[in-house]
Every structure is written in C-alpha cells, then in structure tokens.
Structure 1
Amino acid sequence: MNRPTKIAAVLAAIALAYPVAAWFTGQRIQTILDEQYADMQSHPTLKIAERSYERGLFSSTEKVTLEMAMPVAAEDGAVQAGEPLRMAFVSRIQHGPLPGFRTLAAATMDSELVLEGEPGAKLRETLGDKAPLTARTVFRFDGGGRSAIDSPAFEFGMPDGSGGELRVGFGGVDADVEFKPGMRSYTMKGTAESMSMEDPNMRISLSGLAFDGDQRRLFDDESWLYVGRQRATVATMSVEGKEGGELDGTDFRLERLSYDIDAPSDGEYVDITALLGTEVLRVADVDYGPAHYDFSLKHLHGRTLVALYRKLIEIGSDPEQLARQAEDPTAVFAPLAEPAMALLGHDPAFSIDRISFASPHGRADLSAQVSLDGIQPDELGNPLMLMAKLRAAADISVPQGLLQALAGGQAGSAEEAAFAAAQLEAQLGLLEAQGYLQRSDALVKTRAAFQQGQLTVNGKPFNPLALSGR
C-alpha cells in the first residue's frame, strides 16, 4: 500500500470513528447534567418546573425552567405567597472530542438565562436581545470542567408588593468557575462592578465587589454542604433613607469592606471562622471605623448542621412560616428546635473573637465564648442540666465617654443630659467600688463568666442586689 493510500485509509477510519466518539461523549454529558439537576431538586427553595433535552449526534439542546418561591408583603404588611420567580436556562451543547472543531474536550456548552413573567419583560425592555446572564462551559473527559460567566449592566423596575416600585440596578458580573467531576469541589473568582436597589423609602448601593473561593463537599452524598474558604471585598456600600419616607434621615456607609470565611473539616466535623471588617463605618456624620466582627463556630457535626440548614432554607421560603414570624418573631424557634438540639448534642462551641470599633471617645472592644461541655442527648430537654453545663465568658472594654453619650442620647435638654451623666457616674462608681469593673485611661473594663451555674463579674461572684448598694 503506497503512502497516499495509507493516509486515505487512516482518514477514512477517523471519519468512521468520529461519529461513534461524538455519540458517546453526547451520552456522557447528558448523564452529567441529569445528575446535576437531581442534586438541585433536593434544595428546598428550587423546583425544576420543566426540562427538555434534544440530543443529536454532534450537538444537543437543553432547556431547564426553574421556579423559586417568592414571598411578598401585601399592602397591609402581611407576608404572603407571591408568583414564583421563573427562570429558564437554554443551553446549546457541542459534543466532543472536537466540539465545534475548536478545542479538544468532552463538550462545550453555551448557556443563556431567560427570566419569565414581568421581571423578564422588564429586562427585555432594557437589554433587548441580550441575555441577562451567559455562561460558556468546557467539559473535560473526566466530567470536570470550567465555566466563564458574564452578565451585562442593566436596570429595571417592578412592583414592590406595597403599591410602590422597586428599581434594581446591576453593573454586570464577570466570573470564572473550575469544578471537579460531580461538583465534588470547585474554585471560583469574579468581580461585579455595582449593584443597587431603590424603593420609595430608601436606596441601597454597592460598588467594587470582588469574590473568590475554594471549596469541596464534606460528604459525597450531600450536595449542599461544602467546606473550604470564601472571600469577598467591597469598595463601598451605602444605605440612604429618602426624604419623606419611613427611613428619612438614615445615612449609613461602609468603605473597604472585607468578608472572609474559612471552614476546615475534621472527619464529620466542621469549624467555621468568619472575619468581617470595614475601614469606614459611617453613621450620619460619625465614623466608627475601622470596625471588626470576627466569630467562630467550632466542632459542628456535619450531618446535623445540614439538617438545620435545610430547615432554615425551608422556613425562609415558606410564606405561611414568614407570616407567623411577622406576628410572633419567636415562632421561628419551634421548627428549628429539633435540629438545633441535635447539633448541641455534639458539643459545639461559639465565640465572638472580636467586636471592635472606633468612636469619638476612643476604641471599644468585646470578645465572648460560649460552649456546652459533655451534654448528653437525654439532657437536651432539661433546662437545668443545660445551665449546669453551660460555659460562657465575655471581656468588655468601652470608653466611658461613649457610655455617657449613649446615656444622654435621649435627653431633651442640657439639664436632663447632666442628670443622666450623674446617674451613670454613680452607678459606675458603685460597681467599681465593689470590684465589678475597672476604670483606667478613660476606659471601663470588666470580664463576665458563667460556669457550673455561677456568674462572676471581674472574678467576683455577682450579686444583683449590689446594683442597688445593699
């Protein structure tokens, strides 16, 4: 066989084999997507209303319509079920091994978001033929892949449920997500230029958002619990009340805000450490920044944590539950009691590692820790046993000038402010004399602790009657 004949034979073999490979990769991608939407169905707030999949030899088309429960406020303030938000993802899939003859991969998928109903109509008025969100995904042969997500800037208005209009603005997003087979782990990185919401009472705006994360599933059979790290930074965030509205006079601004969560795991247990900070925290004309709020949740049992999380999501998407909470805020605790008590049975610990902020009078700092030591399942329903095993402590350092400003904040005259300041000074002096606090460098400092049913303040057993000088 001469050389040209050999080349022709090889090309003929490839031509015959390629349709078989394309058919195989098309089947593989459909299976991956089937598994993905099976996981999504387990989420309490999402419902797959419709799904169609038309598979061809070299390409396929998929349309998935999702519904999300949308509770709304009626004109009388009651929370009720609104029309669910319907959104469809339309995807055009090119099968490998050479999808579109542009790259070597199992498949490429180009997806567009289509909002239905009134929100979709409003968006189309703004965007025309542009999709509010697009994604290009390249699937590797092992089932993992990478998605590039993009959204244009847009703004639209819609009824707010109380007779007014809610205007939503979005400056666009650019994100990149790399995922392992079955979404067992993923990394992400992205930016969003701006976001805003405005109604007759206030305007909330945010600019310069950047985010990234590196997470993995704690359990292979649980698609909604990931461990790892997430971080976000925001250049500015502001809340402004409108003149004549219910929030007239509200003026709140954050600058250089950061949010960092680290959630490592040890077997079936998770630790969560959250660091929230802002360089500027301006309320009206007073800047309380830099401000920090850092807290930790340690030794959380993963399975019971998932049960509690699912119950929280379920409550947040149930209009009847939200209506009961609007009338009685404590109503939320009843459906959470069982998973919360189960979580307590695994000896979790909670700590406020740092609350700190500046003020015109100096810096204020607080830290606290709470834990239940060795609680047994049969003791969870016994308040006395819970109190006996509760351990808590808090350290507080507050400028005395800040306490005086807060004490006189509601005074209607200079005389009332002076009286409030004198009362505060008398109370602080009494507590200092009895050893319950210390005053140094214009700071009021104390430490409170609760252990084995005993409350101590500044290392001394605390007697509430001491507040009256008896």
Structure 2
Amino acid sequence: MKKSSVALAVVAALAIAYPAASWVTGKRLETKLTQSDKKDVLFSNFKIVKQTYTRGIFSSKQESTIEFDVASMSPAAAPMSLQDQSEQGEQDAADPQAALDEQQVMPAPKLIKPLQFQVVNYIQHGPVPAIFGVAAGKIETEFVLDATTKEEIKRIFGDKKFLEIRTILNYGGGGKLQISSPAVNTTVGMNQDKLDWKGVNLEVAFDAAYKKLKFDLYSAGLDVLAAKGATSVKVGETKMQGDAERIYPDGFIYLGTSKASIASMSFSNAQAANKGFSIKDISLESTTSAKNDLLDSGLKFGIANITMNDTQIGNFHYDYSLQRLHGPSVNKLFIELSTIDQYKNDPQKMLEMQKQWKEYGIEILKHNPVISLDRLSLAGKNGEFKASAKFQFNGVQAQDFDNPMLLLSKIESAGEVSLADAMIDDLIDGSQTDPDARAMMRSQYYSQIDAWEKEGFLKREGKVLNSKISWKNGQLMVNGKAFPPKPAVDPAALGAEAAPMEMR
C-alpha cells in the first residue's frame, strides 16, 4: 500500500474516532459538572437552584443559578447556650407577663436572604479541547451581570474582559483553575482620579477529591493618584504561593505551608499636616502540621519598614502558634457548627449537638493545648517594644464544664513585656505633628508609668521597662503582685463605722 494511502486511512480513522472520543468525553464531563456532592462540607453552604446543560459533540454550555447561604455564616445564627436557655426559661416562668411584653417590644430578627448568582460555563470537550492541549475539557466561566454593573466595569476596562476564569480538567480527575484580570491605565470616579491597575493572575491546581491544592498568585500592584495630585495610594508587587492537603476527607482542615508578600504600601496627602504613611516588605507565612492526631499551626507576620509622617518607626513582627490541638475533635466540631443552621428549629437536636460539643471540648482540653504569642514586637532605631506569652488549660476534668468558674480556674498563662522609653517617643513624634499635642501625650504617658513603677508593676532597667505577667488559679499577677491592686483599708475608718454599731 502506498504511503499516501496509509496517511489517508489514518486521517479517515481519526476523523471518525475523534468525534466519538469527544462525545464520550463530553458525556463524562456532563456527569461530573452536573452532580453536586452535598455531603462535602466545603460546599455545604452552596445550593444549585436551577441548572440547564446543553451538550454538543465538541462543546457544551452549562447555565446555573447558585444560592449561597449567608445566614448560616452569620454570628446571629449561633445558638443560645444551654445555660442561657435555662436562665431565660427561669426568667420567663418567674414573670410570664414581662416575657410577653418583651416579645412584643423587641423587634423580630431580620431574615438574611440567601445570595443568588448566575454562572455560565462554556465547555470544550477533550481529547484536545479547542487545540489547547491534551485534557478532558476546558471550561471558560462567566458571571451573569446586570446592565448597570456591566456599564460600570466597561468604564474602567473598556473592551477588555475584566475577569477571565478558566478551568482545565484532567482525564485522571482534578485539574487547574486559572483566574486573571488584565492591566489597565485609566481614570475613575467623579473626579477622574488616575488608576494604574497592573493586573493579577491566580492559579490553583487540585486533585479529584479537592484533597490536595497548590496555589500561586501574582500581581504587579496598583497606583491611584487623585486628579489634583494631592493624595495617592500605592500597592507594590504582591505574591502568594502555597500547598495544602486535606487531612480529613469530610472536613475543613488542611495541612501545608503558604507564603505571601507585598513589596510596599503607602498613602500620602501633600496638603495635610500628617502626610501619611508607608510600609515595606510585608510578609505572611503559615504552617500547619499533624502528628498522632495532634495539630500544630503557626503564623508569622512581619513588616520590615514603617514610616509615619516622614518619621521612620521601625519594623513590626507578630507571630503566634496553636499547639496540641486534637484534630479529630476540632474537625467534628467545625463540621457540626457549619451545619447548625438546619437544626436551629429542632430543640431536641440542638440539645444533642451541644452535649456532643461538650465531649469534643473535653477531648480537646485533655491534651493540654497551648495558644502561644511567640513574638509581638515593634523595633525602631532608638528602642523596642516586645512581648511574648503562653495560654493553656491545665488539668481539666469533665465536671469542670458544668461550672464556668471551675473551668476558668484551670487556665494558666505566663508572659513577658518590655518597652524602651525611646520607642514611645518615636511613636508620639510619628503620630502627632502639633508640638503641644506631643507634650500632652508625653506628660500623660510618663505620669502613668511613674505610678505603675511605684506600685511595682513595672521594673526599670536603664531606659527599658519590664513586666512579668501570669494568670493562675483565677488571679492575674504582675511582677508577683495581684492586679488590679486591692484598695488599702484605713483602720480608723473601720473603727468609725464600728462605733455606731456598738451603740445600737
């Protein structure tokens, strides 16, 4: 057979096979995209109200109306505790008329309506979706916006697509989500302020069960300059990278690390006495790990350079950690709290859940978890403020949960604080431009410091003040002294009060 005949046969076979492969792939995609896992807590607050799916050989279109339950995430959705319910019941029983009057006077709670939004997915079927590469499918997602919103967006972005959302789905499950917004240099608002938005790109890779995630975000930043040039806001290069792995198939908790940074942020006003501020090299790092069902989680936040009103303040750090959290109990507690809204009208179910929460709490505290302020500091060229502390429950028993005072007595905490006088002077100079205001603040500060030094709550070492703070057995101690101090008792006053009593 001639080579040309073989080539024609291959082309013919592909011409027949590719539509069939695309049809099969499209059918699989339809099944995947139209099913919703109601058991997964990650999507428990979302509900598909309406959905249509139009499938073709090489492409399909999915239109969905999705409802997001805002009320279940509102603090108002939190249930009244058993103790509060009991106390309220006793009050109502003691004075039924007052309870009735209160119901008539108090306004009914406002109902928070679920938020609905419409989404359209334009799906290209594999094996080679829209000549993009080998994949099960490519999805372009758009939000349905009203005419007014579209007009406002067009004023800023013109003919550019303000937001692009693309998802690549793999044959083996999982895929990659890509979100981007284009750079634009324009004017905004009634005053035609100048906006230089330098765009943003976000990429999130995920597996079939959303168990493993890997994300990467980058933006070159933005500049906003007032029309008359008096004020400006600037945000520098922004980055975020990280990975996360879901530790429990039915939960919210992810293990992993993430790093985020912003090169700089500033606000300035040339016409104001207080000219503004600038901060540089902002960083945020988080890590969560697990060992033998116990979770450790830590966060580190830092700013390398802070300037206020042309005065250099220094650098700032805030680091904290959670240690020895019992993962299974914390996970179950989070799950039940996320579904609590559906049981709020079922008193029996709520009672059962609250009893269960008590068991989770006992199990969590049994492992003596620790909340630690590892570092809180503000360091300048002339001095530093720094603090550290640890907070934990110790020796908690099941019966302690029936008496809040017993539970409070099991709290133990210890920490240290130090502060240089020069640090306060720098902060006052940076925040106050008026000399009289500076003098008044210094006077108030040092008079309070002098009083605490005399009472022993502050100890001075040169130009640095120190305190050691502890909480144990329900008592706050500062440098070994009870705080707040108990008022002194005048024996003469006691005698004067006792005399009339003896005459009677």
User: Deviation string for 1:347-386 (max 9, x for gaps)?
Assistant: 2321111001024651111011111124345423422222
Q: Does 1:448 align with 2:469?
A: yes
Which residue matches 2:408? 387
Q: For residue 462 of structure 1, what is the amino acid of its counterpart?
A: A
Mapping for residues 410-449 of structure 1, pairs under 5 Å: 421-422=446-447, 424-431=449-456, 437-449=458-470
Q: Return the match for 1:131 from 146, 157, 161.
A: 161
Go from structure 1 to structure 2 and tell me whether the alpha carbon gap of 1:234 and 1:413 turns closer, same or farther (over 3 Å shift): closer
Q: SS in structure 1 opposite 2:204?
A: strand
Q: Does 1:213 align with 2:242?
A: yes
**In structure 1, distance between residues paired with 2:409 and 2:385:** 31
After alignment, is 137-146 or 125-134 more displaced? 125-134
Q: Return the match for 2:307 from 282, 299, 310.
A: 282
Q: SS in structure 1 opposite 2:371?
A: strand
After alignment, is 373-382 or 398-407 more displaced? 398-407
**In structure 2, distance between residues paired with 1:308 and 1:206:** 39
Q: Return the match for 1:462 from 482, 487, 490.
A: 482
**In structure 1, distance between residues paired with 2:154 and 2:115:** 16
Matched pairs, number = 428
Mapping for residues 116-155 of structure 1, pairs under 5 Å: 116=146, 118-153=148-183
User: Deviation string for 1:79-108 (max 9, x for gaps)?
Assistant: 988998765443322212232345222222
Q: For residue 173 of structure 1, what is the amino acid of its counterpart?
A: V
Shift of 1:259: 0.8
**In structure 1, distance between residues paired with 2:402 and 2:269:** 45
Shift of 1:7: 6.3
Q: For residue 28 of structure 1, what is the amino acid of its counterpart?
A: R
Q: Does 1:235 align with 2:260?
A: no
For the 8 Å contact 2:213–2:243, the answer to whether it is kept is yes
Q: How well do the aligned residues superpose, as a CA RMSD in angstroms?
A: 4.8
For the 8 Å contact 2:219–2:239, the answer to whether it is kept is yes
With structure 2 as the length reference, what TM-score do the two structures score? 0.68
**In structure 2, distance between residues paired with 1:272 and 1:392:** 19
Mapping for residues 24-423 of structure 1, pairs under 5 Å: 24-35=24-35, 43=43, 48-66=48-66, 87-116=117-146, 118-153=148-183, 170-194=197-221, 206-222=235-251, 224-238=252-266, 251-266=276-291, 268-302=293-327, 305=330, 342-343=360-361, 345-347=363-365, 348-359=369-380, 361-402=382-423, 421-422=446-447
Q: SS in structure 2 opposite 1:288?
A: strand
For the 8 Å contact 1:133–1:150, the answer to whether it is kept is yes
Go from structure 1 to structure 2 and tell me whether the alpha carbon gap of 1:195 and 1:48 turns closer, same or farther (over 3 Å shift): farther
User: Deviation string for 1:145-188 (max 9, x for gaps)?
Assistant: 223332113579799xxxxx999985421122222113221111
**In structure 2, distance between residues paired with 1:337 and 1:283:** 51
Q: SS in structure 1 opposite 2:314?
A: coil
Q: For residue 190 of structure 1, what is the amino acid of its counterpart?
A: L
**In structure 2, distance between residues paired with 1:170 and 1:268:** 45
**In structure 2, distance between residues paired with 1:92 and 1:293:** 45
For the 8 Å contact 1:345–1:380, the answer to whether it is kept is no
For the 8 Å contact 1:175–1:188, the answer to whether it is kept is yes
Q: SS in structure 2 opposite 1:64?
A: strand
Q: For residue 216 of structure 1, what is the amino acid of its counterpart?
A: E
The percentage of aligned residue pairs carrying the same residue is 26
Shift of 1:190: 1.9
With structure 1 as the length reference, what TM-score do the two structures score? 0.73
Shift of 1:388: 2.4
Q: Which structure shows the higher helix fraction?
A: 2
After alignment, is 80-89 or 178-187 more displaced? 80-89
Go from structure 1 to structure 2 and tell me whether the alpha carbon gap of 1:388 and 1:359 turns closer, same or farther (over 3 Å shift): same
Larger radius of gyration: 2
Shift of 1:216: 1.6
Go from structure 1 to structure 2 and tell me whether the alpha carbon gap of 1:238 and 1:303 turns closer, same or farther (over 3 Å shift): farther
**In structure 2, distance between residues paired with 1:82 and 1:242:** 43
Go from structure 1 to structure 2 and tell me whether the alpha carbon gap of 1:311 and 1:231 turns closer, same or farther (over 3 Å shift): farther
User: Deviation string for 1:108-158 (max 9, x for gaps)?
Assistant: 223344444643331133334432211333222111222333211357979
After alignment, is 22-31 or 292-301 more displaced? 22-31
**In structure 1, distance between residues paired with 2:336 and 2:235:** 30
Q: Which structure shows the higher strand fraction?
A: 1
Go from structure 1 to structure 2 and tell me whether the alpha carbon gap of 1:461 and 1:15 turns closer, same or farther (over 3 Å shift): same
Shift of 1:239: 5.3
Go from structure 1 to structure 2 and tell me whether the alpha carbon gap of 1:299 and 1:413 turns closer, same or farther (over 3 Å shift): closer
Q: SS in structure 1 opposite 2:383?
A: coil
Go from structure 1 to structure 2 and tell me whether the alpha carbon gap of 1:66 and 1:295 turns closer, same or farther (over 3 Å shift): same
Runs of 5+ unmatched residues, structure 1: 72-78, 160-164, 318-335
**In structure 2, distance between residues paired with 1:104 and 1:382:** 63
Which residue matches 1:23? 23
